[in-house]
Amino acid sequence: MNSRRWHHWQKISSGIAAVLGGCLLAVAASAQTVSYFPGGNNLASIAYEDAWPENGDGDYNDLVVNYRFTVRSDAADRIEEISMTFQPVAAGSLLNLGLALRIPVASNLPNEYAVTLQAQDDPEPTVLTAVASEPELTWVLLSNVRSAFCITCSDLAVNTQPENPPITPSEFEFLAVFNPPIEANLEQDALDLFVFRTDNFSHQIHLPQYEPYPQCPGPGTAAVYSCELFGTQDDCSDSDSEGFDNTGRFFVDCEGIPWAIDRVFVSPWPKEGVWFKQAFPDGFHKPGKPELLYYLTGRINVPVLRWGALLSLLIVLLALGVKRAVRR
């Protein structure tokens, strides 16, 4: 349920285009192709639990990020530009977490490229340098995500407790420009938005479709990921133990539940300490229980009348009106 659904990519070409399955797909070569995820100006959302390899409280509000990708390609389908708009909207973790982006391109790329990040209130963008220890191009977007909210909220759970005033986060624009364009396979799940612990970059949490690299070589051997944590505590990555087949899936527990969940839409998230299965009894991709969710836009935990309750209220009001009319 957590594989990024690339049929939600919209490819818009200056050549001939066709609509297939409700998505706009480029079907002819052109000077440039622009691909969007999840489509146009829409936003997707990714929610993280920070305690891997422990399950934690399961409220999936330790970090919530809304985002959108745009990829520009030339007529030969080479990548000219990758951009991402993103906005951290909740940071309920008591840990300091960072946010990073990885793309499937070797870090020793000979092509020239320029990468910048700009917050909405900053007059100039900041130049980003790729992480030297990573075998694929990886950039730290935020070394501590709390900086997206405020400087003084380092010890607070941000936008997860309704009794506290909401904090409006900054929006960011990431831009990578490649000259000349690069050969890259940006098909399914190629753009990896992940979190790491600020004090330990190797302690990362990814969506379950991202296989560790290099292959975890064994105990006591250095690697990019914290390889020694796989298969410990509640983690059942890449296994079929306890009756659930997790083969080829990582950062998942023995029931197949991941530590990061991706959705192709934006919605509220559970309040602090509310287990996600209570807040979303029909699944994270369905509407949840309003009284257990946090709303950022001022409608914090406003009860929602169901149609049945509303109909009952109307019947009562009509009955009272009829009763008064009879008395007259």
Q: Which parts of the chain fold into alpha helices (H)?
A: 276-279, 307-327
Give, as one character, the DSSP assignment of residue 73. Answer: E
Better-scored residue on pLDDT, 184 or 60: 60
Residue 45 reports pLDDT greater than 90:
yes
Q: Over range 204-209, report the average pLDDT.
A: 92
Query: 241 in a domain, yes or no?
Result: yes
User: Is position 4 within any domain?
Assistant: no
- The structure tokens listed for 193 are 């938005």
3-state secondary structure of 290: helix
Decide if 27 is inside a domain.
no
Mean pLDDT confidence for 204-219: 73
**Cα–Cα distance measured from residue 268 to residue 298, given in angstroms and rounded to the nearest whole number:** 12
pLDDT attached to residue 304: 34
Sign of the Cα torsion 211, 184, 85, 291 reads: negative
Q: In the chain, at which residue ranges do the beta strands (DSSP E only) sit?
A: 10-13, 17-20, 23-26, 32-37, 44-48, 63-74, 79-90, 97-106, 112-119, 126-127, 136-142, 172-182, 192-197, 200-205, 260-263, 269-270, 293-294
Q: Which of 164-173, 294-303, 312-321 has the lowest mean pLDDT?
A: 312-321
The answer as to whether 100 is a domain residue is yes
Q: Classify residue 24: in a domain, yes or no.
A: no
124 lies in some domain: yes
Q: 118 or 132: whose pLDDT is higher?
A: 118
How many domains does the chain fold into? 1
Tell me the three state secondary structure of residue 88: strand
For the segment 155-171, the average pLDDT, to the nearest whole number, is: 86
- Which tens digit of pLDDT belongs to each residue from 225-262? 677 888 899 999 888 876 788 888 999 999 999 999 99
Residue 154's pLDDT is: 60
Q: Is 283 left (phi over 0), alpha (psi -120 to 50) or beta?
A: left
pLDDT for 204 equals 93
Give the pLDDT of residue 39: 80
* Domain span at 74: 32-327
Question: Would you say 114 and 177 are in contact if contact means Cβ atoms under 8 Å apart?
Answer: yes
As a whole number, mean pLDDT of residues 78-89 equals 94
Cα separation, 306 vs 108, in Å, equals 56
Nearest partner of 139 among 201, 214, 46, 80, judged by Cα: 201
- Per-residue pLDDT, averaged over 98-125, amounts to 91
For residue 7, tell me if it sits in a domain: no
Number of Cα atoms under 13 Å in the Cβ half of residue 59: 22
- Cα 181 from Cα 147, distance rounded (Å): 33
Q: Which amino acid is at 127?
A: V
Q: What is the mean pLDDT of the chain?
A: 79
Q: At which residue do the structure tokens 């951290």 appear? A: 88
Classify residue 3: in a domain, yes or no: no
